[in-house]
Amino acid sequence: MDPSTGARVAAFFDLDKTVIAKSSLLAFSRPFFQGGLINRRAVLKSAYAQFVFMQSGADADQIERMRQHITALCAGWDVGQVRAIVEETLHDIVDPLVYKEATQLIADHRAAGHDVVVVSASGQEIVAPIADMLGATQSLATRMVVADGRYTGEVDFYCYAENKAVAIKQLAAANGYDLADCHAYSDSATDEPMLAVVGHPTAVNPDRALRKAAAQQGWPVLTFSDPVSLRARIPTPSGTAVAVTAVSLGAVAAAGVAWYGIRRRRRA
């Protein structure tokens, strides 16, 4: 809450490459393989896509193609099995990937009385447990259509780009947030709509396009570079509420899409 206005304040965090060092979705490729959800070829594609994602990210067209690939791939998956796999492997997979700087920033916001919301294009079955692990108040994520306990392969809500800003506005209206007082953190230019909707946007580990936009808009830029296990470090609030912000694209499948872009160029 902002003591000067009495309004509730939230800090919106993108997930991939903002809070954690890799793609949250692709990080679970191995346990999904072990659970029989994907084959070995898909694991190899995910590993390569993760590498490309870390090196250069992916553009909007690549991300859209990857979204289509992922939704088709998960058609027929048992939702309960996905949740069980994520719950069983969450700490082993995600815990070592969390940026120390992000955990401190989250702790500072919580100490200031702010709600913390993780916003990601990855599926809610992955994002919600990660948000809980981070101590976030809640999460906004992509929702798949489910019928008879299984994914149909259709998307109910794609939490990406402009849709992130839409979801944030809806949450602000429901929870009484004054967006002018809110913060947002993200690494990708596709999250510019999210960053622009709050009063305190911040670029974190920005890609080239977002770095340029941040310079033009006068947005602060932060660099997070130290992944550390949450088990080994419980952040202590610094006592200074952070006044910078930025929301993220949480590039759900940003990583894997790059693989398809490279393959397409090779065929051309």
Q: Active-site positions?
A: 14, 16
DSSP assignment letter at 76: T
CB 194 within 8 A of CB 119: yes
CB 201 within 8 A of CB 187: no
What are the angstrom distances between the C-alpha of 129 and each of 140, 195, 266?
12, 24, 38
Count CA atoms closer than 13 A to 11's CA, side-chain side: 29
Beta bridge partners of 227: 99
Report the distance separating Cα 215 and Cα 234, nearest Å. 33
Count CA atoms closer than 13 A to 205's CA, side-chain side: 25
Q: Which helix (H) or strand (E) holds 14?
A: strand 10-14
User: Is 265 buried (19+), middle (13-18) or exposed (0-12) by CB count in 10 A?
Assistant: exposed
> What are phi and psi for residue 11, nearest 5 degrees?
-115, 120
What are the angstrom distances between the C-alpha of 56 and each of 52, 130, 207, 219?
6, 24, 8, 22
Q: Of 254, 265, 267, give the one whose Cα is nearest residue 66.
A: 254
